[in-house]
Chain A
């Protein structure tokens, strides 16, 4: 049975696209057949994260407007046979796709794929409403910052209004040292406001940036903390019970080791 996830956040820049790319690749690494659908029309980035920009022939708009079959628009990943991307248009805007079109498309994709991950645009306008229309589960990405948490709260409210009750939380870009010194919100503060089931805590890792620049999501690299966190989320999505990583335990010795390994 295929599952449709929408990755959403409210605030921009918290790592929706990075999360989509990493989780998609993580699921593909576990042998699932995955398609990533970029709905951030006009500001597409998901193809960059996966290093597939130069292979795009057709896009989401071509498919929803019936110019090509979705199979023609899908871009297969270089390394992972069962990871596909359905990119979106760089020239059209978010009004070009409506919720009904996306629901229809997802119904077709459901027959082919195990997991469908939809990358949602920031904000709560039309693009958001389109992106969430077909989803079974929403993954709300936030980071330990007051504006991001507030916007996540608003998004959860909007999801509730759209009758999407299956919502999971991913807290991205945690800086353990700042949390420890009380400069950053900790998980308790976030839980206090959002009271959501959390399936992922991802540390802020410079590897994420270098990986994104190279078009290779960090989920594939063994020596990245964030990559490990993403692999844990993938396991939880597959129904496994994985304990959360404890960033606080990382003492100066491990930190030193990390430094040398870089």
Chain B
């Protein structure tokens, strides 16, 4: 009986599901859960599962997505023409439907893809906002802001506000020849400069250690800029 509610067919892409038209959503869900629990070799982790597009909508589809995710399966909705190869655009709503929250659980977005190079001094009121890392060949003046998903390297004096790992990367760091910002932020931590600023001649590196922002002097190989 339960075999008739959900039919599974193997294709070159992955598994294709079809549902009995008269079955209710609850039935389908329970049936799928049983099948997933049964540990058939069908459901290897990472397998792509295709479900027909027009059977379940909205919250029901989201629920199915969650169910598959629990078992490590990737779920895609299908175009009505079942044989068509899936295009990325036809992707169902993202598994985590809260775009407002910081994208902590999207590891591929966290990886800095490239580096933004700024070949000038950042003046007060200017802002760099990027998901990648930032290299500044020049100073960062008071009132300027850098908000980077990756790390920040400043070949000059940093007096502005710098935020590395702004999208949750706590391994990000900040380097500057003279690190004297008004505030340093890494990931979700904030440190402010001491009221009496001390001047150092060496380049410094700020990073997170044991849950707090630590600044330590470093040796730069090239002092060309």
Q: Does A195 contact B (CB under 8 A)?
A: yes
Which chain B residues (120-165) contact chain A, with CB distance < 8 Å?
Answer: 120-126, 139, 141-143, 157, 159
Please name the residue on chain A nearest to B125 by beta carbon. Answer: A154
Q: Mark A221-244, 1 if CB is under 8 A from B, else 0.
A: 000000000000000000000000
Interface residue tally of chain A, by bracket? 10 to 19
Once the chains bind, are A156 and B123 in contact (CB under 8 Å)? yes
- In the bound assembly, the distance between CA atoms of A127 and B123 in angstroms comes to 21
| Given contact pairs A193-B141, A193-B142, A154 touches B123 in the complex (Cβ within 8 A) | yes
**B126 CB contact (under 8 Å) in A150, A157, A195:** A157
Once the chains bind, are B121 and A154 in contact (CB under 8 Å)? no
Which chain B residues (91-132) contact chain A, with CB distance < 8 Å?
Answer: 120-126
**Chain A residues closer than 8 Å to B124, beta-carbon distance:** 150-151, 153-154, 157
**Chain A residues closer than 8 Å to B126, beta-carbon distance:** 157
How close is B151's CB to chain A, nearest CB, in angstroms?
Answer: 24
Once the chains bind, are B157 and A157 in contact (CB under 8 Å)? no
Q: Does A31 contact B (CB under 8 A)?
A: no
Count of residues in B whose CB is under 8 Å from the partner chain = 13
**Chain B residues closer than 8 Å to A151, beta-carbon distance:** 124
Interface of B is mostly: loop
Which chain A residues (186-204) contact chain B, with CB distance < 8 Å?
Answer: 192-193, 195
**A158 CB contact (under 8 Å) in B122, B125, B139, B157:** B125
**Chain B residues closer than 8 Å to A193, beta-carbon distance:** 139, 141-142, 159
Q: Does A160 contact B (CB under 8 A)?
A: yes
Once the chains bind, are B141 and A153 in contact (CB under 8 Å)? yes
Please name the residue on chain B nearest to A192 by beta carbon. Answer: B157
Which chain A residues (42-95) contact chain B, with CB distance < 8 Å?
Answer: none
**Chain A residues closer than 8 Å to B159, beta-carbon distance:** 193
**Chain B residues closer than 8 Å to A157, beta-carbon distance:** 122-126
How close is A55's CB to chain B, nearest CB, in angstroms?
Answer: 40
How close is B123's CB to chain A, nearest CB, in angstroms?
Answer: 3
Once the chains bind, are A150 and B143 in contact (CB under 8 Å)? yes
**Chain B residues closer than 8 Å to A158, beta-carbon distance:** 125
- In the bound assembly, the distance between CA atoms of A154 and B143 in angstroms comes to 8
Once the chains bind, are A153 and B157 in contact (CB under 8 Å)? no
**Chain A residues closer than 8 Å to B122, beta-carbon distance:** 157
- In the bound assembly, the distance between CA atoms of A156 and B120 in angstroms comes to 12
Once the chains bind, are B120 and A153 in contact (CB under 8 Å)? no
How close is B218's CB to chain A, nearest CB, in angstroms?
Answer: 22
Please name the residue on chain B nearest to A10 by beta carbon. Answer: B124
Please name the residue on chain A nearest to B138 by beta carbon. Answer: A195
**Chain A residues closer than 8 Å to B142, beta-carbon distance:** 150, 153, 193
**Chain B residues closer than 8 Å to A150, beta-carbon distance:** 124, 142-143
| Given contact pairs A192-B157, A193-B159, A160 touches B123 in the complex (Cβ within 8 A) | yes
- In the bound assembly, the distance between CA atoms of A193 and B142 in angstroms comes to 8
- In the bound assembly, the distance between CA atoms of A151 and B120 in angstroms comes to 18
- In the bound assembly, the distance between CA atoms of A200 and B58 in angstroms comes to 69
Besides A153-B124, A153-B142, A160-B123, 13 new A-B residue pairs in contact (Cβ under 8 A), listed by A number: A150-B124, A150-B143, A151-B124, A153-B141, A153-B143, A154-B123, A154-B124, A156-B123, A157-B122, A157-B126, A192-B157, A193-B139, A195-B121
What residues make up the interface of A, taking CB atoms closer than 8 Å to B? 150-151, 153-154, 156-158, 160, 192-193, 195
10 nearest interchain CB pairs? A157-B123, A154-B124, A153-B124, A154-B125, A153-B123, A157-B126, A153-B141, A156-B123, A157-B125, A150-B124
Sampled A-B contacts (21; CB under 8 Å): A150-B124, A150-B142, A150-B143, A151-B124, A153-B123, A153-B124, A153-B141, A154-B124, A156-B123, A157-B122, A157-B123, A157-B124, A157-B125, A158-B125, A160-B120, A160-B123, A192-B157, A193-B141, A193-B159, A195-B121, A195-B139
